[in-house]
Amino acid sequence: MIVTVTPNPSLDRTIELTAPLARGEVQRAGVAHQEPGGKGVNIARVLFASGVDSLALLPGDYDDAVLVALRTLGIPHHGLHLGTALRSNITITEPDGTTTKLNEPGPVIAQAQQRALLQLVVENSEGASWLVLAGSLPPGLPVNFYAQLTMAVRSAFGPAAPRIAIDSSGAPLAAALAGPGDSLPDLVKPNAEELAELTGFPDPYRLEADPLLAVKAAATLVDAGVGAVLATLGSKGAVLVNPEGSWLARSPKIIARSTVGAGDSALAGYLLSQAAGATGPQSLQQAVAHGAAATALPGSTVPALSQTHPAAVSVTVLSDAKEN
């Protein structure tokens, strides 16, 4: 069982344009559709599509459009009553794959609801192989909420606690990696920009273009106590850094339709591979295969395992434990 937590879920509306976006003009959409979203929800959708036992935890009322959509899709989930509507996000994709996102802040989470959400996560984490804490934090939640969740779950289950992965950005991600050792995750999944921000590297574009620089930056997080770093580098693939070494995985060139959710799909691919007992490099290979498959799909559509091609993804050893 893989459990995902999405503190700030959304109803994701995607508009596909047939021509480049013209600011200040009236344009007709080619296609428009919507799905339940937020990073953890997206990961749960990928896992469900791939036949993996999973559970999505999120705030939201029973009749909220996000939870209605999850029920319609048949995705296992538990919602926490808020008494107010969840946010909506809008994604605009252009024919060349350029993606523009407009994200609302989300409803305010009161202190009592924060405690209830923490309890919901602890109660549903028993026996899970992975617990994924993903996405932004809505107003009202403290910036270190992910660190609080991590410590609460580990305190509750000790050595039997699930491995914890965090996929966030900005202050919530920095706070999740700034606490004591028992609050640090087993896996963190930044993109190049987030990795640069975390490590103080001045140019995220250089990290994306040079996997060896990305590995060097990621290694500082592993040295500080993070279990592993899966860093996605856009069209350059992804790197995995853990105490055993570092690897680069690249996919053959594909025609990109939308980059929305590609990082979420990559993390889901890594986790489902890990849950099946694969090695780090094998899981990295599946991560890149899932991310590539997502990029080739429209809007925020997520790929099933059967739609991925890990054998086409090349994996290169960049260092091993003897060199670290």
> Quick one: which of 132, 133, 135 has its CA closest to 275?
132
Kindly report the pTM of this predicted structure: 0.92
All residues at 6 or more sequence positions from 18 whose CB lies less than 8 Å from its CB, including other chains: 28, 29, 30, 95
As a whole number of Å, the CA-based R_g of the chain is 19
pLDDT at 324 over 60: no
Q: In degrees rounded to 5, what are phi and psi of residue 243?
A: -60, -15
Q: What is the pLDDT of residues 6-54, one digit of tens each?
A: 999 999 898 989 999 999 999 988 888 889 999 999 999 999 999 999 9
Give, in order, the Cα–Cα distances in Å from 288 to each of 141, 143, 248, 278, 305.
32, 30, 10, 14, 12
Domain that holds residue 129: 2-320
Q: Can you tell me the mean pLDDT for 178-192? A: 93
Whether 322 shows a pLDDT value over 60: the answer reads: no
Binning pLDDT at 50, 70 and 90, where does residue 321 land? low
pLDDT tens track for 192-223: 999 999 999 888 889 999 999 999 999 999 99
Other Cβ atoms less than 10 A from the Cβ of 91: the count is: 22
- CA-CA distance, 259 to 101, in Å (whole number)? 11
Alpha helices (runs of H) in 127-169, residue ranges in sequence order: 145-157
Q: Cα 166 vs. chain centroid, distance in angstroms?
A: 7
The CA-based angle 86-47-268, given to 5 degrees, is 90
Provide the CATH number for the domain around residue 213.
3.40.1190.20
User: What pLDDT is attached to residue 238?
Assistant: 96
**In 3-state terms, what secondary structure has residue 203?**
coil
User: How many folded domains does the chain comprise?
Assistant: 1
Beta carbons within 10 angstroms of residue 174's beta carbon: 15
Selected catalytic residue, list 12, 64, 186, 264: 264
* Residue 63, pLDDT score: 97
- pLDDT tens for 47-76 read 999 999 999 999 999 999 999 999 999 999
Q: Is residue 259 within 8 Å of 97, Cβ to Cβ? A: yes
Express each pLDDT in 159-170 by its tens digit: 999 999 999 999
Say which residue, 29 or 226, is predicted with more confidence: 226
Per residue in 122-167, pLDDT (tens digit) is 999 999 999 999 999 999 999 999 999 999 999 999 999 999 999 9
Q: CA–CA separation, 194 vs 134, rounded Å?
A: 14
Provide the pLDDT for residue 87.
96
Q: What pLDDT shows up at residue 299?
A: 65
Average pLDDT, the chain: 93
Annotation says 264 is catalytic:
yes
pLDDT band at residue 233, thresholds of 50, 70 and 90? very high
